[in-house]
Amino acid sequence: MLEAGLALRPVRSTPAGTDRRGAARRALPEDLLRQASRRLGILALVAASLWLIAPLAGHAAALALGDPRWAQLDFADHVSAFSCAVSIALVLYVRSSTRSPVFILDLGLAYLVLTALELSIMMHWSPIPEDWKLNPMISWIGPVMLMFAAIVPVAPRKMLVAGFITASMEPVGMWVSGLAGHHPFGSLGDGLVMHYPNYLLLGVTVVISHVVTRLGQQVASARELGSYRLGELLGRGGMGEVYTATHRMLARTAAIKLIRPEMIGAVDSARAELAIKRFRREAEAAANLRSPHTVELYDFGIAEDRTLYFVMELLDGLDLETLVQQFGPVPADRAVYILVQACASLAEAHARGLVHRDIKPANIHLGRMGLEHDFVKVLDFGLVKSVTGNVAESRETAAGIAPGTPAYMAPEMALGDSVDGRADLYALGCVAYWLVTGRLVFEAASPLQVIARHLNEVPVPPSARTQQDIPPALDRLILSCLAKKPEQRPASADELASALRAVPVREAWTEAKAARWWSTNRPAARHENRGVRGHAVATAVVPGNS
């Protein structure tokens, strides 16, 4: 593992290996560019609306004034129709294109130039009064350039070139109109004199573009946490945020979870120091877990503003909550296959004296790992608690945050009693119940009512709440995990795994079955838009509020 406790860089500092000039040339983060391309689509949609509404409003005004030509279509109407079609085409392309955001933003610059040409032709094509004089003016093109630069981040050099061509569309339009005999313009020079204010606005446009891109570069710089550079925001929860990240030296993709200082009880200096020491001990304990079914913790550290961060492996797939919500309850053989792997993760943690305390479907990830399918990873050991005496209490308890999730909380946790690994087995029994029925063990209107039912009521057997075929042995095993007293549950995760393997199912779930399922149901799962998002949501959940 990389060196723990590495301090994050403050926003004002320059990342290692670069100078100020290097920081200025830093590429904008991918998620900011993607957001900018979406804003370009919105801008084009607004333009399409204006190209449609303006001519209609003009004809309506002509009708109101009694102009008999109100129903006639002129050249400007045709230009508006063409411009509206181009704008709509750009909107559809932005929404459906798989091209890089950089290409889409470059396409936006071409759209800006084309829009300027259309505006210029419309303005100068109509005949002018005989007493018309050549006077400098600001046309629509100037404000359009300013709006584009403020909304869409473009490199200043690109904006300078594209903006100069855009501003030059007015003289070009005047010249074309003059050649067509519509305007008595003598030369391009007349157009430059008339529209030189647009060139002045071009200077303002480049300044705005520089400011906007510089802000994005500062975001990129601020996102460099230790040896990692943050990428796209994947999820946000009550405890913090989760981003994609890349190691600057190894080019290894990971996920980084940031935890806000106040969520670990850092309300004053003394409590902050205590919470940070506890965080180090607990993070080191979680980092030492080596089960292949436990999400791997690459690194962790503490920022200068006391923000905590975990660097974890990036996963491809979905969590069990999403699995059941999207595809319904799983058959008994698959449920056994999944639960046995989860037991392997918990068995190692319990052997090291660690209790997860927040086992739930959203914290168990199912995906593809190498050539294997339906590979389980237990997530979010952020609530992990040592029961060996090395750690007195968890940081969440110290901060006054109730650990765990009510729908999956063991009675002893709800009562505040001491807990051991059997509390995780209770929660895993709740997960098993969810897997085979698609229902919670107990449902109620409020979290407190859910906890009360866990404390006092006997659960209905899973087989009574589903049409699926559940072997009696699995039914009994799930209910044994849900026993109110810890001593009445399986003694360990290993014992539970052995009992699960002994459950007689009609046909065992195999790798071949899993591969077919993934090929049919999730053939295009990708890090950037599917599995990772499930992982991010799972690791950014507010304990006790899920």
Q: What angle do CA 414, 383, 533 make, to 5 degrees?
A: 115
Any idea which of 96-100, 241-245, 516-520 has the lowest mean pLDDT? 241-245
State yes or no: pLDDT of 546 exceeds 60. no
Range with top average pLDDT, 300-309, 472-481, 517-526? 472-481
State yes or no: pLDDT of 391 exceeds 70. no
- pLDDT for res 279: 67
Q: Answer whether 224-291+298-311 and 316-539 agree in fold.
A: no
Q: Which CATH architecture has domain 316-539?
A: Orthogonal Bundle (1.10)
Q: 475 an active-site residue?
A: no
236-259: average pLDDT: 74
Q: Would you say 276 and 359 are in contact if contact means Cβ atoms under 8 Å apart? A: no
Q: Which of 31, 316, 358, 374 is catalytic?
A: 358
Higher pLDDT, residue 321 or 59 = 321
> How far does CA 319 lie from the centroid of its chain?
16
Range with top average pLDDT, 113-117, 136-140, 394-398? 113-117
Higher pLDDT, residue 539 or 367 = 367
- pLDDT for res 396: 42
State yes or no: pLDDT of 75 exceeds 60. yes
223-233: average pLDDT: 68
- pLDDT for res 1: 33
Q: What angle do CA 515, 472, 334 make, to 5 degrees?
A: 10
Which spans in 152-186 are helix H?
Answer: 156-179
State yes or no: pLDDT of 321 exceeds 70. yes
**% the chain with pLDDT above 90:** 36
Residues whose CB is less than 8 angstroms from the CB of residue 198 and which lie 6 or more positions away in sequence, other chains included: 138, 139, 141, 142, 145, 167, 170
State yes or no: pLDDT of 4 exceeds 50. no
Higher pLDDT, residue 339 or 398 = 339
- pLDDT for res 216: 73
State yes or no: pLDDT of 518 exceeds 90. yes
> How far does CA 497 lie from the centroid of its chain?
35
Supply the DSSP symbol for 314.
Answer: -
State yes or no: pLDDT of 406 exceeds 70. yes
State yes or no: pLDDT of 81 exceeds 50. yes
Cα–Cα nearest to 381, from 446, 277, 483, 289 = 289
> How far does CA 397 lie from the centroid of its chain?
28
Query: 421-477 pLDDT, tens per residue?
Result: 999 999 999 999 999 999 999 999 999 999 999 999 999 999 999 999 999 999 999
Helix (H) or strand (E) holding 240: strand 240-247
Q: Name the pLDDT band for 26 (thresholds 50, 70, 90).
A: low
Query: 160-207 pLDDT, tens per residue?
Result: 999 899 888 887 877 777 777 666 665 666 667 777 888 888 889 899
- pLDDT for res 153: 86
Q: What angle do CA 176, 179, 182 make, to 5 degrees?
A: 85
Any idea which of 196-200, 494-498, 529-533 has the lowest mean pLDDT? 529-533
Any idea which of 105-119, 190-204, 251-265 has the lowest mean pLDDT? 251-265
For the chain, the average pLDDT equals: 79
224-291+298-311 is a CATH 3.30.200.20 domain = yes
CA distance 249 to 419: 42
CA distance 416 to 233: 35
Phi, psi values for residue 532, rounded to 5°: -65, -35
CA distance 251 to 256: 14
**Strand-strand pairing, 364-369 and 297-302:** unpaired
Domain ranges in the chain? 30-222, 224-291+298-311, 316-539
Q: Would you say 403 and 397 are in contact if contact means Cβ atoms under 8 Å apart? A: yes
